Amino acid sequence: MANSKARSTGRPGSGSPSRSARTMAAVKATPNSRPVIRPTVEAFDPDEPADALIEAAPARPVGQPTWLQVVSFVLAIIGLGISSYETWAHFHGSHLAGCSTTGGGCTAVITSPQSMVFGVIPVAILGLAFYVAAVPLFSPWAWRMKRREVHLVRLASMVVGMGFVMYLIYAELYQIGSICEYCTGVHIVTFLLFCITVFSAAIWGLRGREEQSTLPG
C-alpha cells in the first residue's frame, strides 16, 4: 500500500512534480543560464520598388574636365592660325616670317613637289581645311554634346590627321632634306590634340557629359 502511494507520486497528474519538471525549473531559475536569441527576419514588402533594394553604385566620371576642353580648343585655334598664315603665304608667294631667305627651311619645303598632293592640292590647303573642322570639334560645346557621332568623328579625324603628319615629317627629313618651322608647329599641335582625343576616349568613352551621367554604375 505504501509502495503504491510512493509510485503514484512520480506519475503525471499527481500533486508532487516529477523529476524532469523539477530539473527544468532549476535550469530556468539558474542566473547563469544564457538567453536564447532568435534571429529576426525582416518582412519583404512587395510594393517596395526594386531600385530601392539595390545599393547605389559609386559615381563615375561624368565627362571631360573643363581644363581639357579649354586647352584643346585653344590648341585648335592655334593650329588654324598657323595653317591660315601658311595658306596665305603659299598663294601670295610671300616669305614666311622668321624663316631663312637662302632657299632652305620653310622656303624649300613649301616650294617642293611634296608640298602639292597629287600635284594639284597644296598641303597648306589641306591643313587649313583640317583645322577649320577641328575648331568646332574641339570647342567646349562639342565636348558636351550627347551625340556619339560627334566624338567618333573627332577621334577618326585625329587618327587620319596624325597619319598625314607622319608622312609630312618623313617627306621633310628624307625627301626634301629641310625642316619648316611653321609646319613643325602644326605637327606639334596636331600631336597634342591627338593625345588629348585618345586619352579622352580611353577614360570617358565616346559619350557626352549628360548621356554618360544618366547611365547606371
User: What pTM does this model have?
Assistant: 0.66
CA nearest to 45, candidates 55, 37, 53, 54? 53
For the chain, domains (ranges, CATH) are 66-211 (1.20.1440.130)
Do residues 180 and 97 lie in contact, with contact meaning Cβ atoms separated by under 8 Å? no
Do 71 and 200 form a contact (C-beta atoms < 8 A)?
no
153 pLDDT above the threshold of 70: yes
* Residue 28 pLDDT exceeds 80: no
Question: H-helix or E-strand containing 117?
Answer: strand 116-117
pLDDT band at 20 (very low <50, low <70, confident <90, very high): low
What tens digit of pLDDT does each residue of 76-109 get?
A: 999 999 999 989 888 877 778 877 766 667 778 8
Positive or negative, the Cα torsion across 48, 49, 53, 57? negative
Continuous H helices in the chain: 2-8, 19-29, 66-92, 106-110, 123-137, 140-143, 148-170, 181-204, 209-213
